[in-house]
Every structure is written in C-alpha cells, then in structure tokens.
Amino acid sequence: MGSRRVFLTRRRVAGAIVAILAVPPLARIALLRLKDNPLPRVAAPEPVLIGRWLLDASDLAGGPGG
Amino acid sequence: MILDARTGIPSLEGRYDCCVAGAGPAGITVALKLAEAGKRVVLLEAGDREATQESQELYAGEILGLDYYPLEAPRLRYLGGTTGHWGGQCLLLDRADFEPREDVPLSGWPIGYDDLAPYQPGAAQLLQTGEFPAEVRRPADNTGTIDVVTQRFSSDRAFYDVGGNEPVRFGTRHLADLETSDRIDLVLNANLVGFGFDTATGRLSVAKVRNYSDGAGEVAADLFVLAMGGIENARALLHLNEEVRNLFGNQNGMVGRCFMEHPVVHHGAYFITKRLYSHSPTWEFERLVRRAIPELLLSPSPAQRQQNGWLSATLRLERLNRRALSDAETGEAAFVRDLTFDEDYFLTGQSWVLGEQAPNPASRVVLTDRRDRFGLRITGLDWRLSPVDVETLRGTTIEAAKFLIRSGLGRMQMEPALWERAADLPIEYSSHHMGGARMSETPATGVVDGDCRVHGAANLFVAGSAVFPTSGHANPTFTIVQLALRLADHLIAEAA
C-alpha cells in the first residue's frame, strides 16, 4: 500500500493564508456577539428622566434583569 | 499678487472687474473663481497673514440679548478668516431645509437644493472633504422617525495618506495661488470703511479703504462683494444704508434681522450594550480609513419634525470609549447603577444636541452708539431664542433616546433643564453666525435676492452665511463655499 502524496498548490497555499488571517478575527467577532447582552427591545418607548438618565418607563420596574 | 497696506495704501490703478471685501473662505473662493475666468479682482483683507491684536479688537461689540461669547472671540480677522481655527465639520443642508413651511414664518429659500447641488464637487475639492453620497440621510430603523446623517470632515484623508489631519485653512492653503495670480490683487491690512455710490442708478463706484495708520484710499470696481462674515456683512450694510436712506436691502428694515446661531445643549454620558459597532457599520470604520472623528449623527426625519413642529437638528453621539461610567455619571438612577461594565454594557461616550433656530426678526445685529478707530459704529448683537428652538432641541434629544431604547442599544443622559423646559437653559453656541442679510424674493422679507445681489443695489452682492434665510442643522462652511462658487458664476456672467 503506497502513501498518498499531498501536492503543494498555489490554491492550497492561498487557502491556508486566508484561513490563518481570516478565521481568528471572524471567530472573535462571533464570540463577542454571543456575549452581547443588549437591553430588551421596547416597541413603544415611554421616556422618563431619572437622575439625568433618560430611561424607559419599563426600566423603573427593576434592573436589567427585570 | 499680495500687497500690503500697512505702511501706506498701495496704488490700485485702473478699474477692477470685482472688488471682494474679506479674504475668508467665501471671499477667497469668489476671487479664485473670478480670476480663473480671466477677471481682474481686488481682494481687500482687513487683517494680516497672521492674527494681530489691532485687527482682532475691531471685532469687539456689545452683547444686547442672550449671553454670548465676546464678539472678537469666535471670529478671526486675518487672511483665511475663521477657517484659521475651525474644526472642519462639513454637512449638507437637507432638501427640506430649502422648502417653505406653513408653520414656520419666513421659512424657505428663493433657491432650492438643486440650485446648489452642482457646486458640491467644487466645494468638496476646496474643503478637501471627499464627496457626499447621493443621500446623506438613511433611516436609523424602520419607524421612519429618525435618520442617521452622513458628515464629512475637512480633515478627511485617504487611509494611505499619512500627512497631517488639519482641516483646510484657507489663508495658508491658497497663499501660493494668491501670491502668483496676476489677476488677483490681495491687499492686506486694508479695512473697508465705506463706499462711494450713486443712489440714482443704485450703483456703487468705489470702496473706501483705511490702514492702521492714517492711510486712506479708494478702489474702483464694476462689481462689489461683501464677504466679511455673518456679523460684519450686516454691520457694513447697516452703515451703507444710513447713507443711502435704506435703499440697499434695508427697504423694510431687514438688514441685521433674523440672526441665527446653532444652539447646543450638552447632555452628558451614554452607554452602548453591544461590544461591536454593529449599530452603525461606518462609525469606527470611517475613523480607521479616513481618520475622521467618529460621531454618529441622529436626526429626526423631515416627516417627524414637520409632524411635531420641530426644526432641523442633530443629536450627536461622540466617539465611544471602552470605559465604565463614573459614579458621578451613574448618579441616582438605580437602573443604571445595577448595570455592570463589561457584562451589561461595554462602551460609553458623550452626547450633545445642536438645533436650527426659526427666523426671528427680533434676533438681530444692530449698530450701537460707540465707535471704533475708524469712526464706524460698533456692533451690537441681540441674539434671541424662540420657544420652537428649545422644543426642537428637546424633541430631537428624546427622539434619539427613544431610538436607543427601542433597539436595546443603550441609554443616554439628558440635560434636566431641557427636559423641564426651564428658563435657565445651559445653552452653548457653535460660533455659526447666520442671517442678517437673508436671501428673499423681495425686500419685504430679506436683504439679497436669489443671486445674492442686495435688493435695490445694482452691483453689490453678499457672500457667506449672512444670506442664509434658514440654517438647517448643517455646519455652514460647506454651504458657504457652494454659495460662493454659485455667486462667482453669476458675477462672471454679469461681468461679461
């Protein structure tokens, strides 16, 4: 049984470079997006001013957890 | 060529095609374009190549209305004018800014957006901004209430350009053009102190000039352009009309009236709950590739402001930083106090709102009884704010806050005095001086016509933001240069 040879082609080299350059930042962006913790969307905001902050009336019910 | 009147008024022989008073962005733009077309121009600059005290102090005036900066502070009286210290922010007026509104007296321009649009590339080139996209507004979300507005900077550069990022200073940028031009005679230290005129024909014949000693002289020209800045243009026209029985643009007492600023209220902090700038794809990217200052400009849509009776305005969210809110910023709001940096929010910045003022004849530039070294009466500024101006700032701020709440992107602070519509509003200013020689169809409501010609004066024109009938929310310099290019085209046709 003979070993299978892997040829070094330009396409493979380019693919490897792209993978090395592109994958880590894309993975980082995906990770950061997963960790995002946006506040709940509010379809019809009712702004109220509390201690200089322009909050929504629903914010007064509690912290970001509700 | 550049001449200097400091030690004596130079001999300015022969009749010039055009005399331009004021070598700021408007005056230099007009002069360069006229010279390109082969016209002979004399450009009178009251200051020197650099700021001097004797020139700058001639901008001193009296504050008669709302509190304001000392009048010699926000303006520069030397070659290049106020571009010597401007920030370089450039915005376009909206198409809607030119249209009359039934609920805003004296609104509407005699010309439209499309009249100035052909001059966008020329203004962009002179100001080094890069061109604006076809649509400078795009909806921030799908509610139709609020838009993101595109801004350009005179300091914009291509990413590969590692040179300085100073905004264009007209005095230094065009110095060589002015020195080498054989069509332009720039005269430094030449103060315009009056005109010779013929009221029967409505024509000016000469501009009277003084230096800082006892030197005096006259310059003869076929056409005259006042390009001395928003306040000084009105002042010069008020002086002229004292001599011509109000025949030149002041038939209805409109010279100096409807002076406008862009009032500003600073709100304090805002925070963003996403780590990436995904809510504004161009925000940080622009900073990277253009080295522009990143600011997100939110502005109620034209439909929204019409519905609420607001004028044009922008809420400016300044550059974000990866920084927690300080205790002072968090304050008493339990909701905000319960948030944790790096878990609930990731970025913070500062915000402020800038708004348009409604044209108000009571807000005006006047002449006081005190006189300057040339015997000319010094300026009084009676700047006023109308209730609709305050409502515009307030409504715009709340609309932007609603966008942040709707999208879950974050929350922002608001100046409590603006929320409460308090009388002691902490207003700041943009140093944008607009109106005073407003453009109008007839002298009943303004000073110059759609071609910037003073009503009733055959050969006197005004360049600069004094002619703005309304101001929109746009920083005025880009529009000033557009208008100056258009005026130059008109003068070239007139001189032919």
B285: Cα within 13 Å, side-chain hemisphere: 7
Write out pLDDT tens, residues B450-494. Answer: 999 999 999 999 999 999 999 999 999 999 999 999 999 999 998
Under DSSP, the state recorded for B420 is T
Q: Is B127 helix (H, G, I), strand (E, B) or coil?
A: helix
Q: Which residue has the higher pLDDT, A32 or B159?
A: A32
pLDDT given for residue B289 in this prediction: 61
The residues pairing with B208 across neighbouring beta strands, listed in sequence order, are: B194, B218
Write out pLDDT tens, residues B119-128. Answer: 999 999 999 9
Lowest mean pLDDT among B148-157, B313-322, B351-360: B148-157
pLDDT category at B60 given cuts 50, 70, 90 is very high
Q: Which residue has the higher pLDDT, A28 or B433?
A: B433
Give the residue carrying structure tokens 């709001």.
Answer: B333
**DSSP H helical ranges for B181-250:** 230-243
Write out pLDDT tens, residues B358-417. Answer: 999 999 999 999 999 999 999 999 999 999 999 999 999 999 999 999 999 999 999 999
Query: DSSP states of chain A as a string?
Result: -PPPPPP--HHHHHHHHHHHHHHHHHHHHHHHHHH--PPPP-SS--EEEETTEEEEGGGGGSSTT-
pLDDT given for residue B139 in this prediction: 94
pTM over 0.80: yes
CA distance B270 to chain A (A): 9
Between CA B279 and CA B46 the distance in angstroms is: 48
- Mutation target vs A (from B279, B350, B405; most A CBs, 10 A cutoff): B405
Between CA B41 and CA B186 the distance in angstroms is: 8
Give the residue carrying structure tokens 């000073």.
Answer: B447
- From first to last of its 66 residues, chain A has per-residue pLDDT tens of 455 676 788 898 999 999 999 888 788 777 777 777 778 999 999 999 999 999 999 998 764 443
**Across the interface, do B339 and A42 touch by the CB < 8 Å criterion?**
no
Between CA B168 and CA B39 the distance in angstroms is: 25
For chain B, give the number of residues. 496
Give the residue carrying structure tokens 């002042």.
Answer: B235
Specify the DSSP element, H or E, that contains B186. strand B184-188
Between CA B183 and CA B181 the distance in angstroms is: 5
Between CA B407 and CA A50 the distance in angstroms is: 20
**Across the interface, do A45 and B402 touch by the CB < 8 Å criterion?**
yes
pLDDT category at B242 given cuts 50, 70, 90 is very high
pLDDT given for residue B496 in this prediction: 79
pLDDT given for residue A24 in this prediction: 84
Residue B448, φ and ψ in degrees, nearest 5: -120, 160
- Asked if residue B200 has pLDDT above 90, the reply is no
Amino acid identity, residue B167? P
Write out pLDDT tens, residues B273-291. Answer: 887 654 455 556 665 666 6
Specify the DSSP element, H or E, that contains B110. none
pLDDT given for residue B319 in this prediction: 83
Lowest mean pLDDT among B82-86, B113-117, B311-315: B82-86
Q: Which residue has the higher pLDDT, B433 or A4?
A: B433
Average pLDDT on B93-113 reads: 97
SS (H, E, C) B256-317: CECCECCCEEEEEEEEECCCCCCCCCCHHHHHHHHCCCCCEEEEECHHHHHHHCCCCEEEEE
Between CA B232 and CA B192 the distance in angstroms is: 11
Give the residue carrying structure tokens 């709707």.
Answer: B406
pLDDT given for residue A47 in this prediction: 96
Under DSSP, the state recorded for B477 is H
**Which residue numbers of A have CB closer than 8 Å to B's CBs?**
29, 32-33, 35-43, 45, 47, 49-56, 59-60, 62-64
CA distance B429 to chain A (A): 22
Nearest CB among B276, B332, B397 relative to A33 is that of B276
Q: Is B329 helix (H, G, I), strand (E, B) or coil?
A: helix
- B38 is written with which tokens? 């082969």
b/e map of B148-181 (b: 16 or more CB within 10 Å)?
A: bbbbbbbbbbeeeeeeebebbbbbebbbeebeeb
**Across the interface, do B419 and A49 touch by the CB < 8 Å criterion?**
yes
List of residues 6+ apart from A7 with CB closer than 8 A: none
- Asked if residue B333 has pLDDT above 50, the reply is yes
Relative to beta strand B410-413, strand A53-56 is antiparallel
Q: Does B416 touch chain A (CB under 8 A)?
A: yes
**CA B258 to chain CA centroid, nearest Å:** 14
pLDDT given for residue B468 in this prediction: 98
Between CA B305 and CA B483 the distance in angstroms is: 26
CB B181, CB B226: distance < 8 Å: no
Calculate the average pLDDT of chain B. Answer: 93
